[in-house]
Structure 1
Amino acid sequence: METKSAARVLFLTPFNFAQERNDHAFDDIIRRQFTGLDGIDVIADHVTRFEADDESYESVQEELVVEATKKAEADGYDSVVVACFYDPAVPAAREAATIPVIAPMQLLGGLAAQLGPKFHVITDIDEAVQPTEDLIAGYGLAGFSTGVTAIRRDGDAILADTRAAAVLADKIIQGVAENGEAQSVIIGCTIVSAAYELHRDEFPDHGVNVLNSNKLSLKGASILSN
């Protein structure tokens, strides 16, 4: 019987950290966490560093994500995860390539709804709350969501102290569990998710499903690659 090779998946961070070294530090965390993930060869990378004002940010980001996706396909990747819970540039990247392009919020919201009937989302900063809620509604999942809560730390601060970020996430998870309305918690921000996974074993089981958005996005990419 022929053994199927592992799916080659690009975990593409579509933004830059304020501190350039953290672009690479985050890639390294993802590599360490998912090296040896069953059936998946994970390559973590980020878009070229760019500068843009608020008006041009999305268009510049989209151009870079599309460029990286086209290159990934040309280089033989089986799929791409656009690793941000805003799911930025995904429609354009899907149009530009024939390989699967995974939108983490779209995928995780659908999965959490299967565990339902309700889920809660954790993000990084307060400014991300409303866009994430709007995205959930845009995917037709507002009726499944009990809301979005931020740990109130940006990406660089999270990487500076991953345990502190994980503790803040765990407090939110505990509150969601005590509230009793949601059955699942999506660690929505990819950076918060990575930080939480570094310390997950330190926290008790609060009785709700805690979904590792990075791992599940990669698993979804692998399934669609096959």
Structure 2
Amino acid sequence: MPSSRHPVVRITIIDPVVLDGQVLIDPAPEIPGAVIERRSLAFGTASVESRWDDAFAAPGIIDAAIRAEAAGADAVVVNCMEDPAVDAAREVVRIPVVGPAEAGMHLALCVADRFSILTTEAADIPIVREMVERHRLEHRCASIRAAGLPVLGIGADENDTLRRLTAAAHAAVEDGAAALVLGCTLFASLTDRLAAELPGIPVIDPLSAALHHALTLVRLGVSHSAVGYPAPDAKPISWPADDVHFGPAAAEGSALAAGGPHSEGSVR
């Protein structure tokens, strides 16, 4: 892993969805000192909005993380505020794997005593609540407010999305939030405009938070614990069909599905 002596850090963003040309993904933020590449999945859904979506995306995320490390990436960021498969990916690679939700919440707590998360639809609130509880931050989370938009509807009308986000943000401040974490990485382009509507309230773009966090970990020469995230024992893995692969869309078959070096669980 590069240390602080390395001038450039390679970060791979894994978009845990299948992109078919109709799904719009905002450009990655420019992070000084980082070269960023992106990988989407060849098998999965067009958006992640449920526990089912999380679980279905997991094999592809894990495979993409393995491939990113093998290709020389210094860190991986999973581009979804539900942090799908982040813990599992940490078990099979030794480079840092960062989730936007975890990074965004902890950054919020560096600038405020309590935060709220502005998510997409009301149906997502239980999933976000579980995530907050998993990180034992429920006593620091003032509320979870929904903008009333599906993920794939966020970019349909930017002004309407901002209006909905602003209403949810004001409600969150009334709940006691002193900082706000955007609950979907597709809200990122509205970060500055939303912050202008709430002077004095920090608004956290979780993807930017995750990328900066990944950069810092690499610069410090620190990654996740091999004790906290031990590599799984090698074992045979079977998929339902030889032509099914779950990894990055640009790859020629998945290492897991095609019998590659990790198909027997051989991880570092």
TM range (shorter): 0.7 to 0.9
1:47 aligns with 2:41: yes
Q: Secondary structure at 1:142's aligned position in 2?
A: coil
1:21 match: secondary structure: coil
User: How far did 1:55 drift?
Assistant: 8.9
2:260 matched to which residue of 1? none
What SS does the aligned partner of 2:180 have?
Answer: strand
- The equivalent residue for 2:21 is 21
CA–CA distance in structure 1, aligned partners of residues 145 and 160 of structure 2: 16
- Contact kept in structure 2, 1:169 and 1:196, CA below 8 Å: no
1:61 and 1:131 map into 2 onto residues whose CA distance is 16
Give the conservation status (yes or no) of the 8 Å contact 1:166–1:195: no
Q: CA deviation at 1:106?
A: 1.6
1:74 match:
70
Cα 1:119–1:56, aligned 2, differ >3 Å: closer, same or farther?
A: closer
Aligned to 2:205: 212
Q: Which residue is 1:38 aligned to?
A: 32
Among 146, 164, 167, the residue aligned to 2:163: 167
- Give the unaligned 5+ runs of structure 2: 220-268
Q: Which amino acid aligns with 1:14?
A: P
Q: Residues 201 and 3 (structure 1 numbering): CA distance in 2 closer, same or farther, change over 3 Å? A: farther
Match of 1:63 in 2: 59
Question: 8 Å contact 2:195–2:201 — kept in the other structure?
Answer: no
Deviation at 1:45, TM superposition (A): 3.1
State the one-letter code of the partner of 1:100.
Answer: P
TM-score scaled by length of structure 1: 0.84
- CA drift at 1:107: 1.9
Q: 2:223 aligns to what?
A: none
Are 1:118 and 1:146, in contact at CA under 8 Å, matched by a contact in 2?
yes
Q: 1:55 to 1:201 in 2, by over 3 A?
A: closer
Q: Distance in 2 between matches of 1:116 and 1:55?
A: 29
Change (3 A) 1:55 1:225: closer
Letter in 2 for 1:183: A
- Flag the 1:57–1:164 CA change in 2: closer, same or farther, 3 A: closer
Structure 1 residue 150 and structure 2 residue 143: aligned?
Answer: no
Q: Distance in 2 between matches of 1:81 and 1:45?
A: 10
Aligned match of 2:225: none
SS where residue 27 of structure 2 aligns?
A: helix
**Alpha-carbon displacement from aligned partner over 1:187-219 (angstroms, at most 9, x marks no partner):** 121112x2413x628943432111111111110
CA deviations over 1:60-116 (Å, ceiling 9, x no partner): 321100000000001111111111111111111001111100022122222222323
TM-score (norm 2): 0.71
How far 1:175 sits from its partner (Å)? 3.3
* Distance across 1 between alignment mates of 2:56 and 2:95: 22
For the residues of structure 1 that align with 2:68 and 2:78, how far apart are their CA atoms? Answer: 12
Structure 1 or 2: larger helix share?
1
How far apart, CA to CA, are the structure 1 residues paired with 2:100 and 2:195?
25
Q: Determine which structure has more spread, i.e. the larger CA radius of gyration.
A: 2
Amino acid of the residue matched to residue 119 of structure 2? T
Cα drift, residue 59 of structure 1: 4.1
| SS in structure 1 of the partner of residue 181 of structure 2 | strand
For the 8 Å contact 2:74–2:218, the answer to whether it is kept is yes
In structure 1, distance between residues paired with 2:100 and 2:138: 16
The match for 1:189 is 184
Identity %: 21
The structure richer in strand per residue is: 1
Name the structure 2 match of 1:12.
14
Give structure 1 stretches of 5+ with no counterpart.
none
